[in-house]
Amino acid sequence: MEAILTGALTQLHEAADQLQLRDEMREYLTSFKTVFQTQFPVEMDDGSLKMFEGLRVLHNVARGPSKGGIRYSAHVSLDEVKALAMLMTWKCAVVDVPFGGAKGGVTVDPAALSSNELQNLTRRFTSEIIPIIGPDKDIPAPDMGTNPQIMAWMMDTYSMTQGYTIPGVVTGKPIALGGSEGRFEATGRGILYVIQEHLRAEGGIQGRTVAVQGFGNVGGVAARLIHEAGAKVTYLSDKDIALHHRDGIDVTAAYAFVAKGGTLTGWHDLFARDVEVVAGADVLAAEVDILIPAALESVLTEANAAAVRAPLIIEAANGPTTVEADAILRERSVVVVPDILANAGGVTVSYFEWVQARQFQRWSEQRVNQELQSIMAKAYQTIATRRPVNAPNCTLRQAANWVAIERVVEAVNLRGIYP
Ligand code: NAD
């Protein structure tokens, strides 16, 4: 079993112990409603046929239709998709949006396909999963390797087979097709809101030093908003370069450069020669107030957790901390705001997009951000203040799992077992 699924199951059993769940409920929660695997052909530009493998896993739908991204990556595996589907169930429960959890993926390196091939693959994969997805059943969204254009093709394919336009079948669409204002920035913005809640009683974010690993959709937006809120981003990295400046990096300028198609390396070379280049590992071990892993899973491990010097970690990426690293960080009293809370801004605004699609409404960006702030703040306060009676000193991760699983169990029990 892959580490990410082992980690998800370990956390589930820990919360189940605190909730004193019956064995049959544990079995129910560790099971998956639907595991759909397909191999399908795609016509390539040279006229040849190539077979691809696609997956869609629905974990639990007790609280509502399932929700979760579609990943295009050469490394998609069933264990990974199952783990991420399960995390989506808990994440939706943490922010209390009426969805269950799902995830999907196609084993493909999207960069190796032409736009036409990518469209063919997306349309064929969508038609394969049509029996499972739908605005009332299961609502995909972008994830690693997929984007608003791919969501547009998915929405169109689904709609063509039903005979009319159904924008609510996917979220993360382009704005012109009913995508939500604020969706692109939502995960990074949610990170800012969670940090603000966490530091509310301790003087706020102003002047804090921050290290951010990853400068993509989540890390880029989070770093920029945190910088603009008055914190000093002293360490910043992407897959090619890691940068350090003791007085803080001008993230607004770096973000604008990268948003126009540049790279962090290019920005450094052209405009920021005073910013020091450091090793990638230095970012995770940075002496800062807040460390934000916003790139990949399993970057904080048994091997480097003891080197972390930040007293506070905000998990912007999914699953950046292994089970072993989590135990070390806890031992060292490093506070970790877990992924299912910290990065839930994305699914929250996806929920807003789905609501707008169902009601043929358009919300302003201001309304989206206000509602996002209110949901993130409420979720944070719930997780920070509620504790199981048998584990009053549990971590924020344990509290988040406990709250989420309790909510899912409540829904399962209220619905009862059919027939
Ligand atoms: P992205 O592809 O836009 O960005 C990833 C960034 O990480 C890039 O800047 C890349 O250069 C960098 N990176 C890759 N390897 C690195 C390394 N070894 N060291 C430093 N940087 C490295 O992806 P994203 O959408 O920002 O997602 C990042 C994480 O957040 C993933 O774990 C994803 O599952 C999670 N997440 C994303 C969303 C969302 O709305 N996009 C929502 C919730 C969670």
Same domain, 328 and 267: yes
Q: How far apart are CA 15 and CA 229, in angstroms?
A: 35
The domain boundary, picked from 342, 370, 395, lies at 342
The verdict on residue 181 lying in a domain is no
User: Residue 25's pLDDT band (boundaries 50, 70, 90)?
Assistant: very high
Q: Residue 318 CA: which ligand 1 atom is closest?
A: 32
Assess whether 327 and 204 both reside in one domain.
yes
pLDDT in tens, 181-222: 999 999 999 999 999 999 999 999 999 999 999 999 999 999
Report the CATH number at residue 127: 3.40.50.10860
Q: Do 197 and 57 share a structural domain?
A: no
Residue to probe by mutation, ligand 1, list 71, 192, 235, 238, most atoms within 8 Å of CB? 238
Is residue 293 situated within a structural domain? yes
With contact defined as beta carbons under 8 Å apart, do 276 and 248 qualify?
no
Q: How distant is the alpha carbon of residue 262 from its chain centre? A: 24
Span 305-340, pLDDT tens digits? 999 999 999 999 999 999 999 999 999 999 999 999
Strand, helix or coil for residue 252: helix
pLDDT band at 106 (very low <50, low <70, confident <90, very high): very high
Number of domains forming the structure of the chain: 2
Count other C-beta atoms under 10 Å from residue 393's C-beta. 6
Residues 157 and 295 reside in one and the same domain: no
130 and 217 belong to one structural domain: no
Residue 378 in domain: no
Classify the C-alpha dihedral 4-7-8-9 as positive or negative. Answer: positive
Name all residues whose Cβ lies below 6 A of ligand 1: 144, 187, 213-219, 237-239, 280, 294-297, 316-318, 343, 346
Lookup: tokens for 218:
């989540």
Active site residues: 103
Is residue 415, in this structure, part of any structural domain at all?
Answer: no
Q: Which of 173, 296, 314 to mutate to test the pocket of ligand 1 (most atoms within 8 A of CB)?
A: 296
Distance in Å, CA 317 to ligand 1 centroid:
6
Return the H-helix or E-strand segment holding 236.
Answer: strand 232-237
Residue 152 domain flag: yes
Nearest to 332 by CA among 281, 273, 291: 291
pLDDT at position 385 over 90: yes
Quick one: average pLDDT of 251-270?
A: 97
Q: Give yes or no: residues 138 and 263 share one domain.
A: no
d(CA 409, CA 406): 5
Query: Which residue, judged by its Cα, is nearest atom 42 of ligand 1?
Result: 346
> Which position has the higher pLDDT, 6 or 228?
228
Do 304 and 252 share a structural domain? yes
Same domain, 264 and 329: yes
pLDDT tops 90 at residue 4? no
Q: Which residues span the domain enclosing 298?
A: 186-342
Spatial distance between the Cα atoms of 154 and 167, rounded to a whole number of angstroms? 10
Supply the residue whose CA is at minimum distance from atom 19 of ligand 1: 239
Using alpha carbons, select from 247, 295, 290, 240 the residue that is nearest to residue 268: 240
Query: Which residue's C-alpha comes closest to atom 13 of ligand 1?
Result: 239
In this structure, the answer to whether residues 129 and 258 fall within a common structural domain is no
Contacts made by residues 254-260, CB under 8 angstroms, sequence distance 24+ = 254/215, 255/215, 255/220, 255/221, 255/223, 255/224, 258/215, 258/220, 259/220
The residue ranges of DSSP E strands in 44-89, in sequence order, are 49-60, 66-73
**Least reliable range by pLDDT among 39-48, 290-299, 380-389:** 380-389
Which residue from 239, 347, 351 has its CB within 8 A of the most atoms of ligand 1, so it is best to mutate? 239
| For the CA of 339, the nearest atom of ligand 1 | 44
State the pTM of this model. Answer: 0.96
Task: Examine the domain organization and report whether 205 and 331 are in the same domain.
Answer: yes
Long-range contacts of 25-30 (CB under 8 A, 24+ apart): 25/409, 25/412, 28/412, 29/60, 29/405, 29/408, 29/409
Atom of ligand 1 nearest to the CA of 238: 21
**Cis peptide leading into 419, omega within 30 of 0?**
yes
- Please state the atom number of ligand 1 nearest to the C-alpha of residue 299: 18
159 lies in the same domain as 197: no
What single-letter amino acid sits at 100?
G
Please report the pLDDT score of residue 351 as a whole number: 98
109 Cα to the center of ligand 1, angstroms: 16
**Degrees, nearest 5: CA angle 83-133-162:** 165
Name residues whose C-beta falls within 8 Å of residue 360's C-beta, 6 or more positions apart in sequence: none
Q: How far is the CA of 333 from the centre of ligand 1 (A)?
A: 26
Distances (CA, A) of 201 to 196, 197, 272: 9, 8, 35
Q: Which of 133, 166, 199 is the last residue of a domain?
A: 166
- End residue of a domain, out of 293, 315, 342: 342
